[in-house]
């Protein structure tokens, strides 16, 4: 198996690059943001609970997203690997993910971290809000709250994987194709090294 975390602040291009990466490497895409939005659309109890946090730009409680990821891992036993997008977003989520993967005799191979300046992030998210239909993209205060949550709770998740020397930084500005090629170069290197 080959398991990858695509990491970076809101608006750094994780969703766009994930689509291209899963097609090329045949990975199962697990985006907690997408999973949560499906729960909201289906009006489940989990979705209703999550919506209150998402509408404010806050993170959803750890137990909610960890439960969702646990279910998704159990449902997808026959895959080449997972691409985690928007998860883990806290230190607790990172520890739980390691445990869940360990129980399945696998682990995270690499975290690829997209770096984008704050001005560019805000510009991109406001632009996305014009067409995405996402209420958390249309209000600048909520966008700023999401970026603040990233700095407060999420950025340090990289330290967790850095301890195992599993983090590689990628410049997240430039054309979609340029960024994709840079990601693929790192992935190909790691796959060769890890023999997967």
Residues labelled catalytic: 14, 89, 128, 134, 146
The three-state secondary structure class of 16 is helix
Backbone φ/ψ region at 104: left (φ over 0), alpha (ψ -120 to 50), beta: alpha
Residue pair 153/61 in contact by the 8 Å Cβ criterion: no
Q: Segment near ligand ADP (CB under 6 A), from 17-25, 38-46, 49-57, 166-174?
A: 49-57
**Is 60 one of the binding residues for ligand ADP (CB under 6 A)?**
yes
CB of 56 to ligand ADP, least distance (A): 8
**Is 170 one of the binding residues for ligand ADP (CB under 6 A)?**
no
CB of 93 to ligand ADP, least distance (A): 6
Binding string, residues 89-128; x marks residues near ligand ADP by CB under 6 A: x---x-----------------------------------
CB of 102 to ligand ADP, least distance (A): 19
Residue pair 83/30 in contact by the 8 Å Cβ criterion: yes
Alpha carbon distance 171, 154 (integer Å): 18
Alpha carbon distance 170, 76 (integer Å): 28
Q: Segment near ligand ADP (CB under 6 A), from 50-58, 70-78, 97-105, 175-183?
A: 50-58
**Is 10 one of the binding residues for ligand ADP (CB under 6 A)?**
yes
**Is 167 one of the binding residues for ligand ADP (CB under 6 A)?**
no
CB of 57 to ligand ADP, least distance (A): 6
72 CB-near residues (< 8 Å, 6+ apart): 28, 30, 35
DSSP letters, 87-126, are: ---SHHHHHHHHHHHHHTT----EEEEEE--HHHHHHHHH
**Is 53 one of the binding residues for ligand ADP (CB under 6 A)?**
yes
CB of 193 to ligand ADP, least distance (A): 28
Residue pair 40/50 in contact by the 8 Å Cβ criterion: yes
Interacting residues with ligand ADP (CB under 6 A): 10-11, 32-33, 36, 53-54, 57-60, 65, 86-87, 89, 93, 136, 146
């Amino acid at each position: 198996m080959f398991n990858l975390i695509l990491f970076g602040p809101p608006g750094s291009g994780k969703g766009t690059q994930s689509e291209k990466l899963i097609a090329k490497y045949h990975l199962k895409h697990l985006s907690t943001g997408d999973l949560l939005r499906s729960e909201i659309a289906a009006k489940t109890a989990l979705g209703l609970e999550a919506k209150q946090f998402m509408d404010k730009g806050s993170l959803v409680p750890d137990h909610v997203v960890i439960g969702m990821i646990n279910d998704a891992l159990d449902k997808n036993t026959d895959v080449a690997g997972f691409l985690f997008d928007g998860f883990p977003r806290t230190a607790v989520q990172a520890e739980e993910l390691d445990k869940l993967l360990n129980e399945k005799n696998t682990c995270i191979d690499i975290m690829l971290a997209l770096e984008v300046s704050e001005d560019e992030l805000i510009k991109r998210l406001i632009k996305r809000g014009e067409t995405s239909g996402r209420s958390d993209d249309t209000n600048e205060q909520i966008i700023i709250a999401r970026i603040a949550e990233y700095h407060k709770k999420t950025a340090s998740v990289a330290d967790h994987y850095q301890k195992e020397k599993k983090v590689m930084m990628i410049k997240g500005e430039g054309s979609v194709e340029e960024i994709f090629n840079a990601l693929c170069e790192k992935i190909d290197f790691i796959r060769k090294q890890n023999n997967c």
